[in-house]
């Protein structure tokens, strides 16, 4: 927003807080693209009308050059002309230009040279089978938010997650070693999870090269059109993974455009238990978990079919493609994820070890394949298996810079 319009809002803040009726504006602000639904939910959670008005005006200043004239339009359309006139008094005339679509610079895709028999390219031909790497040398590299839900409210019917504190401590140490600013939040309800993600999306990431979100909680399977699964708050209400990623996409967090956004989900993708299949002895190295293994699934008395669909709106189809996003799941969608109460989850234990041993020399996607392989060889109670996996929308190789 232009400085002159920010000054007008600040000069008239007391009148806006006193007289503004935010509830009349929400539909228009959403329709005109000034705020997202998540931002409106956050404003509504501020409480009283005055608090909502105060939060709305504060957030409006962050929404770009079109926000002020569109806000005036919303005031006029909802019968709050006196406030519109107050803001227009002394303000330069604004000509609202049509929104122009964001220019997307697409890389020129060149075909790889074809060499019969897999030999080297002939004279004068250049190999194009190497990938560029993301810039990852900022210090610190970026923010890492860890949400660790261990103790669930009784009415949620979800068991406490013993051992999750061990996972959290490992990952906090690991990402500090990888030069991230780590923030840990514990035992959050659904709205608090959304608030933390919204706060993270509002930070200025322009000086950083990457952003990481780690979710440690119970999970479940939900309808989706992009990223499967959902993560529970301690109140038993969930946040779909595709909504979690939306907070940091190019539209909602411009300072992270073109930068890698990494999501690590230690939670069940459903309540199915994988009993595996037989392979030849040389295909697998035997490994088994302890007898106190627990899952991060929803209780067996419930299922994803019984969850209220009204709490699960689909992601809007107008959102941009989630470029530069990687979501790593502890388990295949639909299946449980195993956690040992004394040593933490299989997935986090393995991820931490792989990062410790390889982060200085191996790219992230390759390391996650190593995690997949090792976890797949575990057995819970001598019977059940687990298969991690990723949804990868990264465009380049990602190498962490370890602290020396």
The end-to-end CA distance of the chain, in Å, is 41
Catalytic residue list contains 268: yes
Cβ 231 vs Cβ 193: under 8 Å:
yes
**Is residue 155 within 8 Å of residue 232, measured between CB atoms?**
no
User: CA 57, CA 11: separation in Å to the nearest integer?
Assistant: 11
Active site residue 144: no
Structural contact between residues 62 and 202, judged by C-beta atoms closer than 8 angstroms = yes
Residues ≥6 apart with Cβ < 8 Å to 287 = 377, 378, 379
Neighbours of 23 (CB within 10 A): 12
Which of 141, 168, 205, 218 does the annotation list as catalytic?
Answer: 218
Distances (CA, A) of 257 to 38, 228, 322: 19, 23, 10
What is the maximum alpha-carbon separation in the chain? 81
φ and ψ at residue 204, rounded to 5 degrees? -90, 110
CA separation for the pair 189, 239 (Å, rounded): 10
Given 141, 168, 211, 268, the catalytic residue: 268
Q: How far apart are CA 37 and CA 39, in angstroms?
A: 5
Active site residues: 218, 268
């Amino acid at each position: 927003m232009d400085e002159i319009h920010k000054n007008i809002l600040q000069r008239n803040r007391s009148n806006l807080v006193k007289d503004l009726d935010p509830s009349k504006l929400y539909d228009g602000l959403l329709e005109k693209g000034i705020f997202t639904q998540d931002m409106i939910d956050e404003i509504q959670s501020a409480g009283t009308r005055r608090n909502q008005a105060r939060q709305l005006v504060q957030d409006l200043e962050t929404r770009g050059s079109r926000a002020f004239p569109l806000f005036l339009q919303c005031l006029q359309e909802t019968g709050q002309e006196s406030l519109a006139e107050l803001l227009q008094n002394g303000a330069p005339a604004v000509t609202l230009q049509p929104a122009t679509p964001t220019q997307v610079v697409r890389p020129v895709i060149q075909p790889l040279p074809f060499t019969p028999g897999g030999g080297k390219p002939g004279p004068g031909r250049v190999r194009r089978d190497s990938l560029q790497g993301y810039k990852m040398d900022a210090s610190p590299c970026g923010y890492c938010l860890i949400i660790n839900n261990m103790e669930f409210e009784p009415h949620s019917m979800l068991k406490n997650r013993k051992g999750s504190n061990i996972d959290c401590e490992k990952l906090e140490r690991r990402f500090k070693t990888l030069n991230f600013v780590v923030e840990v939040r514990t035992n959050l309800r659904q709205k608090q999870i959304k608030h933390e993600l919204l706060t993270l999306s509002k930070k200025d990431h322009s000086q950083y090269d990457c952003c990481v979100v780690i979710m440690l909680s119970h999970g479940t399977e939900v309808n989706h059109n992009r990223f499967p699964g959902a993560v529970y708050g301690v109140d038993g209400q969930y946040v779909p993974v595709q909504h979690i990623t939306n907070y940091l996409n190019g539209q909602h967090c411009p300072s992270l455009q073109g930068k890698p956004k990494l999501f690590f989900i230690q939670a069940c993708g459903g309540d199915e238990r994988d009993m595996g299949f037989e392979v030849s002895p040389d295909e697998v190295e035997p490994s088994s978990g302890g007898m106190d293994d627990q899952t991060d699934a929803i209780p067996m008395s419930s299922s994803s079919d019984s969850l209220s669909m009204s709490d699960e709106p689909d992601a809007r189809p107008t959102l941009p493609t989630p470029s530069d996003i990687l979501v790593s799941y502890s388990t295949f969608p639909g299946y449980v994820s195993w956690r040992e109460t004394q040593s933490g989850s299989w997935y986090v234990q393995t991820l931490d070890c792989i990062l410790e041993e390889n982060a200085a020399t191996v790219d992230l996607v390759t390391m996650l394949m190593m995690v997949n392989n090792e976890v797949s060889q575990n057995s819970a109670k001598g019977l059940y298996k687990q298969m991690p996996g990723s949804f990868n929308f990264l465009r380049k190789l990602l190498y962490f810079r370890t602290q020396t």
